[in-house]
Each structure stands twice: as structure tokens, then as C-alpha cells.
Structure 1
Amino acid sequence: MWERARRELGGFGRGLPSDDADELSWVLFRQEDVLSAGQARRFLSEKAVRHRVVTGRWRQVHRGIYVTHSGPVGRAQLHWVAVLAAGPAAVLAGLTAAQAWGLRRYESAAVHLLLPARHQARSLPPWVRLHRTTLLPDEDVLAVGQPPRTMPARSLIDAAQWASTDDEARAVIAAGFQQRLVGGDDLHRVLDRLPRARRRELIRVTATDAAGGAHSLAEIDFLNLVRRAGLPEPSRQAIRRDAKGRRRYLDVWFAQWRVHVEIDGGQHLDPRTAWADMQRQNDLWASGDRVLRFPAWAIHHNPQAVVAQLRAALRSAGWPG
């Protein structure tokens, strides 16, 4: 849908306006060369606006919204088209806002907007998804910066609410912690203000586990597997020192029995990453720890074998079972 929007509408290189630039130039700079008809009328006559459109200097990309150049339209400009089309109360939200905060590897095919329920909706481009809320306190919205968007914790919670599946919702929450957009009780504080949030308990539990150190979705799924099997509760992302005194982070660590579990995602296929993992594993084995390794796919597709091997390792290490 992003590509469709970009094809329909046309980034575009923009320099900082000069010191003597007029107010219109600064508005266009702040808004990525996107302008509403109302804003245009503050600076130009109807005839002047029409002339710019007819001559191709400007394009009307949606009702009452102009892009003031003839080049291709980038993602940042699409955000402005969406916000200006929806009206001054609308803010970027969900995955769109989370991406603006730096979330990676979770692309949204649409621009997600959040609008207070009391505000009337306007005509929007087909690639915009408008969501309504009765609860949008000031602390959930970025106070400075443009375009307006929800804060990271609210963005992730809304993305999880609007996700098509529970697994997608959990993955987004885990990624927010893993990529350090949020931490600690950030999501819990927002959830306290949203008593009727969709998937509220799922988001709460996922955020609790992620804040406790199980940052990846595979680690969270492993933790749930351990609990369902009645195995002891491990530590997540525990810090150990290797033989050379370097800090090492363990995915899962059963400290009392010195059983360490590594959960391998796709990044472990890289030779340099694999060698670093081997060195860490060798240091742990050399000091007497038991080290188990499971690929992320086994957590989801062969959980019985994972639990059986983990139970056997814990019993061999002295866990009474």
C-alpha cells in the first residue's frame, strides 16, 4: 500500500530555508513541502494557488491537500498528507508512530492515525487507517516536534491493539523493548489509563516479561513454555563474566542449577555471530555450566522436545522435579 500511495502521488531533497525566507517557506520546510488549502490561503490568493497547480509546480494529492513540488512523494510527506487531511486533532499512531520513533522491521502498509472520538472525521486517502479514542491524555502525545504523534509506549500499545493476530501484537511489544523504544514500567503506566484496551492482559503480560529481560518473542514464548511445563522460573538476560572478565548476556539462566539456555534466531546464522556464540558457550562449559541451545522455530513447532531436553538437563543438575 505504501508503494501504491507513492505511485499515486509521485523523497525529495530539501534544504534549510535562508535567514530571510518568508513564513510560507518555513511552513513548507516544517511540513515536508505539504500544505493544506487552508494554510495556502493564509499566504496566497485562490488564483495564485490555482496557477501553481495548473503549471505543475504544485499537485493536489487529496481534497484540500497540496504537495508543493513535482518530484516523488516520500514516506514523511505521506504522513503529512494524512495528518493534514484528517484535521488538527489527528496524530500519527500505532505502527506509524512507532516507526517514527525508530521501530525497525515492522512495516505498516497504511498510515495509522488516532482521532479523539468527539472530532468529526474528514475525507481521507484510501491508504490511511483512522482509529478513534475517548482517552488521549496530553502525556500520550509528543509535546514538541512534527508531525504530531503518540509517545512510544502508547504507540506500541495501539499497534498491539490494532494488530491482526495475537502473535503480531506480542511481537511488536517485544520488539519495542528489544530495540529500546521503551523500558521498565512504561507500558504498564499507559495501560493503567486504558482499562478497556483490546488485548490488555496479553499486552500487560508480554510487557512484564519483556521488561524482565526476555526481549525477543522467542524468549517470551520459551518462558511461557517453561511455566506451562511446571519447570522452575529462570532469569532472563542475566549477566555473567567470561574467562577474560568480559560481560556476557545469557538468554535464559537457571542459576541454582547452572543451566543456561540460548535461543537462536536468524542472526545466529551469520558466521561472526556464530563464532561469538561458540566462544561464550565454550567459556560456560569450561566453568561447569550446562548449556542448551534451541532454534526459535523449535520453541513454536516442537515444544515437547524442548521441554523434555530442558527437564532432563535440570534433573541431571540436581533439580528434584
Structure 2
Amino acid sequence: MSGLSQLAHVSPLRPLRDWWAERPPAAGAAVMASGIVSVGLNLAGYEVASRVALGLACASWVGLAADFVARWVWQRERWRQEAMTPGSLTAVAATAVLGTRISALGWNTLAAALLTLAAALWPVLLVGVVRHWQRRMSGAVFLCCVATQGLVVLGAALAAAEAAAWLAHTALVLFWLGLVLYGFALARFDPRQVVEGAGDHWVAGGALAISALAGSKLVAADSARLYLWSGDDRAVLRTVTVALVVLDLTWYAVLLAAEAVRPRLGYDVRRWATVFPMGMTAAAMLSVAAALGIPGLKGPGQVLLWIAVAAWLAVAAGAVAAARANLRSTAQR
């Protein structure tokens, strides 16, 4: 009887445990989406809403980090296989985006710890992912650029806060590397994903958006105290950053038009990888407007921010509905 009682006691948790164990590495895009929406709301001045989004991002990050470690300890073979997929790089990107928002709160010690963690994971995961690249891949292939530029954004933010010139210069090297990786990823991206993709095809534009955000953070990191860039360096950074914004907005328009032509309304976990580029485009425009002195970008950036918030709410509702359905299905097995 004691065994039956114990089974009855733990059985209600089993569906939740089984459902969580089946979550793919790409689920990290949910943290990325919540984190960048928080960053965008902070840049637009909506601090309360920004902290709510940050709290959700932190809670999701803790859960996914625990799952990441658990798989590494107890399911090493599964961990290795998943580490070779582009979705694994969401671990780096999500950690960097979360650290960027935390740095804006002035919690630089915690942000530096997150940067250290992301930087340690980055080469391990990036090498494994790139070695297994194929032709005609989904938009997840651009996560190599997103993860790299995520380190740049956080590194530049901390360099400005801590007056660490070496960190800014390291971030600049990674900035150019991220753009090179984007070129390689673009060559392997399947263009048909624009009209057939389940959501992560938006990362094709999101990678350019985070690159633009990285460029604006590098420009903003310069000061009389640091004197990071010469006049020519600053001019190049400014030109490239503006070009990245233009290219990102072009991608945004193309992807939005493709959604209108071929609507994909059903929920898919990869839809978080749609919200992230939307939020990142808004955050990039707001950041570029402030760092480069282009006030004309502020208004459109705020409009795109609220579109991203609406998309976040829609995908969150879909995720809750899908989770409930999966839990019921698991409980009936």
C-alpha cells in the first residue's frame, strides 16, 4: 500500500516532467524573445512593463539552464546531439540578451557573470554547429550570427559601464566576425523558408537587427574617458550600423509580406524565433536613434515595439494552450 500511495503522490507531476523533458533546444528563443521585449520597453521608457518581461525571461532562463545542465549530466549523448543543432546557440544568445537587460539595471557583476558563461559556451557550441551545417537550412542557421552579436551587445554595454577598453576592442572583433558568419549562413539558407518556414525564418532579419544593435552599443561605448575609436573608426561603425538597420527593415518587410501571402497561424515553438527578430528590430531602431543621433528612428521603433509586444502575447497564448494540450495527452498515456 505504501508503494501505491507513493505512486499516487508523485504521479501528478509526471506529465509536467515528461512534457518539459521533450522541449527542444530552440525553446531558448522564448527567453530571447522575452528578454529583448524587456530591453525594448526599457529603451522606450516603459520600465514597469520592462521589468515584468524581464522577470518572465529570468524564470524561463533558470528553467532552461537547469534542463541544459541535467541533460549534460544524465543524458550526455542526447546533449551532444542537440549541441550540434543550430537551436543550441539560443543558450548563448538568451544568456547574452538577459545580461544586457540586467546591465541596464546597474547589476554589472551579475551581467559580467552571464557574459562569462555565454562566452564560455559560445566556441564549444559554435564549432559543433558550424561543422554540421548543410545546404538549404532553416532560419536557425543565422543563430551563429545572433549568438556572436549577443556577446558584442553585452560586452559593449559592460565596457561602457566599467570603462574597460579591452572589452570594447574584443567586442569589435566579434562584431566583424558576426557579420562574416551572417554571410556564410546566408549562403546556406533555403530561400523557400520565407514562405514555408514555421517561424525561425525570421531570424534571417533578426540577425541583422542584433548586429545593428551591437553597432550602436559599440558607438555608445566610446567616451572621452576611454577614447575607443578614431574619427575614421567611428564613421565606419556609424555607416555600417545604419546600413544594417536598412537591410533589417528590408527583411522585415519581405517576411511580413510573406506572412500575409501565406499565413501560418498555428502555434509552433519556433514562433518565439519570430517574436525575437520583431523585438530586436524595434530595440535596434531605438538604440540607433539614441546612439547615432537619428531621432527619426524613434517613432517607427516604438511602433514596431508594440507590434512585437502584441506578437509576444499571441505566441505566449499559443504556448499556454499547447502546453495544456500536451499535459493532458501525457497524463492519459
Shared topology, TM-score over 0.5? Answer: no
Structure number with the higher helix fraction is: 2
Larger Rg computed on CA atoms: 1
Greater relative CO, 1 or 2 (CA 8 Å, sep 6+):
2
